[in-house]
Every structure is written in structure tokens, then in C-alpha cells.
């Protein structure tokens, strides 16, 4: 049975829903081990949020250097955890930060990388949707440990029946990993709607609105009030499409 390591994404003390989604994919291949990289004193609380997932084990690394020095420290930590866990595959959320981590991690491990996958199977192969969904591509990493980023909302997260075990490990952050220092950062300004990656329903409008998106916004807000997580998207086409094709 394979062992799959997944990177747990979190922000402001809250675990992202991608954690449950990656765990569901990982369970197809075998045992799922979750990795939390957190500031000092925060990993236990984050791990408790994974009680309803199918993650069997959580490994936590705590360091304030992750926020202070960024990717270099993160890569040092992940690489050392990989040496400890010896996973057969690594799954990472397909965010901008996640894809950067995946690419740099693959170089460190001398492995192949697949990005923006929408499916992951028990034989460690992945499926991608390309050219606007016109084609699907199945591929498999042939060298090293597969490093694969998975698009958010690619699968409905499976609900687990027990909390994962928790283990905190120490890693050594190299001086090279601290060459970059982040002097300031500001969270993105958010509106009243959820992040696109967290939305279950996406409501879009195009040229038919004549530039007036108020009715579309009202529909999105109505869905949110009824308990749905929605995101509003504007779309434009370069040519006319008949109503029946919409």
C-alpha cells in the first residue's frame, strides 16, 4: 500500500477545504499523511480541524521562519519531512504558492512534477484538463517521487470517522533558506463573498448583461443567504452564441 504526503494549506488559523480534498485523493492510493507548516504554537489547533477528514497521520513543523523567510525555509522543512516519511507521492494544493513549492520541491528531490491535476488514481497517475477543458491528459511521473498539484474543488471531500494521530517534528533551517527576508505583507482585500477556490457554486454573466451585473450579483447574494458558497465571474465571448447553446 502506498503512502501519500499532502501539504495542508491554511490561513489566519483556519485550514483550507483543499486539505480534505487532497486527503480523499490520497486515500485512493493508500495511507494519507498530512503535513502542517505553522508558526510556533499553532499546529495543534490546526490539526484538530482535520478530525473529519480521512487523514491518518499529521506531521507538524513549527517555525516563525516560514513567515519571515518564505519559500526557502518551507522547502527546507518539506524536504526533511519527505526524508523521514518516505512517501510514494506528494500532493499539494494548486494555488500560486502551491505550484511554486511543487516546482522547487521537485528540483530538490530530482523528481517529476505535474500541475493543475483534476484527478489522481491509485497507480499515482494524474489527469489534467487542458485547452479550456477540450482535452483531458493522463500522465504519470517516471522519475523520483511524484509531486502533483491538485486543483481546488476537483473532488468532494470524504468525511472521516476518527481524528488523525499528531506528531510534531523538528527540522533544521539552513542559512541558505533564510537568504530572503520578508519585511512586510498585507492580506488581500476581501469582499463579502468566499474565495473562488472555496466556492461550491460559480455564477457568471457576460455580454447579455449589457454591462449591468447587478441582477447577477443579486442572484449570487441570494444563494449565499440561502447557505451556498458562491462566486461571481464575468465572462465575455468574441462571438455570438445562440441561446440554446448556453
* pLDDT tens-digit readout, 24-41: 999 999 999 999 999 999
Q: What is the pLDDT of residues 100-115, one digit of tens each?
A: 999 999 999 999 999 9
Q: Name the pLDDT band for 131 (thresholds 50, 70, 90).
A: confident
165 and 227 part of one domain = no
Is residue 186 a part of any domain in this protein? no
pTM for the whole structure: 0.83
Q: What's the average model confidence in pLDDT over 38-64?
A: 96
47 and 108 part of one domain = yes
Please state the domain count of the chain: 2
pLDDT at 241 exceeding the cut of 60: no
Is residue 190 a part of any domain in this protein? no
pLDDT at 3 exceeding the cut of 90: yes
174 and 223 part of one domain = no
Mean pLDDT of all residues belonging to the chain: 87
pLDDT at 240 exceeding the cut of 70: no
Neighbours of 167 (CB within 10 A): 12
Is residue 185 a part of any domain in this protein? no
Q: Which class for 147: exposed (0-12), middle (13-18), buried (19 or more C-beta within 10 A)?
A: buried
Quick one: pLDDT at residue 115? 96
204 or 72, greater pLDDT = 72
Q: Name the pLDDT band for 194 (thresholds 50, 70, 90).
A: low
58 and 96 part of one domain = yes
150 and 81 part of one domain = yes
Is residue 48 a part of any domain in this protein? yes
21 and 131 part of one domain = yes
CATH number of residue 97's parent domain: 3.40.50.620
Is residue 189 a part of any domain in this protein? no
167 and 222 part of one domain = no
CA gap 78, 91 in Å, rounded: 12
For residue 227, what are the domain limits? 196-245
In sequence order, what are the beta bridge partners of 190? none
Amino acid at each position: 500500500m502506498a503512502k501519500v504526503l499532502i501539504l495542508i494549506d491554511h490561513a489566519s488559523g483556519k485550514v483550507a477545504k483543499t486539505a480534505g480534498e487532497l486527503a480523499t485523493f490520497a486515500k485512493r492510493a493508500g495511507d494519507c499523511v498530512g503535513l502542517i507548516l505553522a508558526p510556533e504554537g499553532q499546529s495543534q489547533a490546526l490539526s484538530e480541524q482535520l478530525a473529519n477528514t480521512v487523514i491518518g497521520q499529521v506531521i507538524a513543523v513549527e517555525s516563525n521562519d516560514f513567515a519571515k523567510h518564505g519559500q526557502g525555509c518551507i522547502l527546507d522543512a518539506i524536504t526533511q519531512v519527505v526524508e523521514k516519511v518516505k512517501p510514494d507521492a506528494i500532493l499539494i494544493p494548486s494555488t500560486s504558492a502551491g505550484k511554486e513549492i511543487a516546482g522547487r520541491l521537485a528540483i530538490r528531490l530530482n523528481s517529476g512534477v505535474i500541475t493543475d491535476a483534476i484527478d489522481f488514481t491509485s497507480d499515482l497517475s494524474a489527469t489534467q484538463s487542458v485547452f479550456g477543458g477540450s482535452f483531458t491528459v493522463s500522465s504519470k511521473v517516471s522519475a523520483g517521487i511524484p509531486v502533483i498539484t491538485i486543483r481546488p474543488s476537483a473532488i468532494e471531500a470524504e468525511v472521516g470517522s476518527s481524528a488523525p494521530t499528531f506528531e510534531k517534528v523538528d527540522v533544521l533551517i539552513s542559512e541558505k533558506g533564510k537568504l530572503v527576508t520578508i519585511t512586510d505583507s498585507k492580506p488581500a482585500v476581501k469582499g463579502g463573498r468566499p474565495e473562488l477556490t472555496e466556492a461550491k457554486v460559480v455564477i457568471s454573466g457576460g455580454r447579455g448583461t449589457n454591462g449591468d451585473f447587478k441582477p447577477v450579483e443579486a442572484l449570487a447574494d441570494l444563494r449565499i443567504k440561502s447557505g451556498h458558497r458562491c462566486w461571481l465571474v464575468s465572462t465575455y465571448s468574441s462571438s455570438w452564441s445562440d441561446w440554446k447553446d448556453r
